Homo-oligomer: A and B are copies of this chain.
Amino acid sequence: MTIKISIDCMGGDHGPSVTIPAAISFVKHEPEAELILVGLEDVIRAELKKHKADTHPRLSVLHASEQVTMDDPLEVALRRKKDSSMRVAIEQVKSGAAQASVSAGNTAALMAVSRYVLKTMSGVDRPAICSILPNQKNGPTYMLDLGANVDCEPHHLHQFAIMGSVLVSAMEGIERPTIGLLNVGTEDIKGNEVVKLTSKLLQADHERGALNFYGNVEGNDIFKGTTDIVVCDGFVGNVTLKAIEGLARFMKDVLTSEFKRNPITMLGALIARGALKAIGNRLNPSRYNGASLLGLRGLVFKSHGSADAYSFEWALRRAFDAAKNDVQAHLASMIAELMPRTPVPDEPTSTSSTI
């Protein structure tokens, strides 16, 4: 079975110099993959040639004349750059030419363009962004929403839980992944009103065997790996994720500066450099690159903007696995089962996308 993935080759901090080598490596490792490389044709072909892959049968080039930058306001990404590599890549999913799309571009723009082009799944009120964090059990903790929805009602969080559960099942092969509801304490009486009501919805699903709801979890449970999935609204998720990234950067800076302080500490760091590298890999694993935009009528994955080729290849891997495991069909059937479409109308081009 061939899986076709469209790649926004111009997105991210490094553009084609990262996305093309990643694509070449990926088709080499994955015989079932066919990749559509979207962006400035000349640039992409030159990069392919440089890597002696310009005639690879499973790499095709699709020209797009524009590019969404990291600073482009949503309006520009949505309405002005209609021939952006990001949009054309997503359009391949819409038309069925690709089963999934991957971009390292601006998250808010990617979500907005994806919603605009693909539309929201039936039964889902709002798409969400689901990312993966490493945990102390050496496994992944899936967390959503990470910033697409800053004001959430209980039924939104409920949908996030369902979507997260389907994704983890398909991607990790866990039949009944555990769902934790992010809260300020584990007892039922804890939390704000939205969380308390969400807990009741999830508990009801749990009791009839539809979802595996663990209960409330706290901030530290993300890293403990208490549950496979942590559900929260996009405000809390975004702030938490950025605080985590901020602390990680701070710790890295402190580590670097303290080890460089004098010849003795430098010697220590030199001797222990294998350990220091292993620490980096444990805490920021490349294999966890690739956040899912869930709840759209098509699969879209977001790579870190700063990803290198190795890391971007993991985002391709995630998109490929999601398409191969038919996440989209599983999502549709689970949503249909648990979440009859609510009458609340959705705003397809809301500006609430925020990462």
Contacts and interface: CB of A to CB of B under 8 A. Distances in A.
B241 A219 contact: yes
A268 B273 CA distance: 8
Contacts of A116: none
Contacts of A220: 242-243, 245-246, 249
A49 interface: no
A291 to B, nearest CB: 15
Interface residues of A, number: 66
Interface string A216-253: 00111111100000001011101111111111111101
Nearest to A189: B351
A272 B269 contact: yes
A242 B273 CA distance: 30
**Which of A234, A242, A253 has most chain B Cβ within 10 Å?**
A242
Interface stretch (A32-40, A278-286, A334-342): A278-286
A169 interface: no
Given A136-B250, A268-B269, A191 B150 contact: yes
A264 interface: yes
A243 B272 contact: no
Nearest to A148: B184
Interface string A175-204: 000000011110001111101000000000
B239 A254 contact: no
Interface stretch (A92-100, A119-127, A255-263, A316-324): A255-263
Per assembly, the copies of the chain total 2
A240 B245 CA distance: 12
Contact of A247 (B232, B235, B247, B275): B247
Interface string A133-144: 011100000000
Given A191-B150, A268-B268, A268-B269, A275 B250 contact: no
Contact of A239 (B136, B150, B184): B184
A321 to B, nearest CB: 26
A46 interface: no
A193 B251 contact: no
A165 B111 CA distance: 37
A270 interface: yes
A355 interface: yes
Contacts of A41: none
Contacts of A57: none
A195 B151 CA distance: 11
A223 B250 contact: yes
A344 interface: no
A174 interface: no
| 9 cross-chain pairs, A with B, having the tightest CB-CB distances, nearest first | A268-B272, A219-B242, A220-B246, A219-B243, A268-B271, A223-B246, A184-B354, A265-B275, A258-B275
Given A220-B249, A254-B282, 9 more contacts: A151-B193, A185-B354, A223-B243, A223-B247, A232-B239, A239-B240, A251-B279, A261-B275, A265-B275
Interface of A: 134-136, 147, 150-151, 182-185, 189-193, 195, 218-224, 232, 234-236, 238-251, 253-255, 258-259, 261, 264-265, 267-276, 278-279, 282-283, 351, 354-355
11 contacts: A134-B250, A135-B250, A220-B245, A236-B236, A240-B243, A251-B279, A254-B283, A258-B276, A258-B279, A261-B278, A264-B271
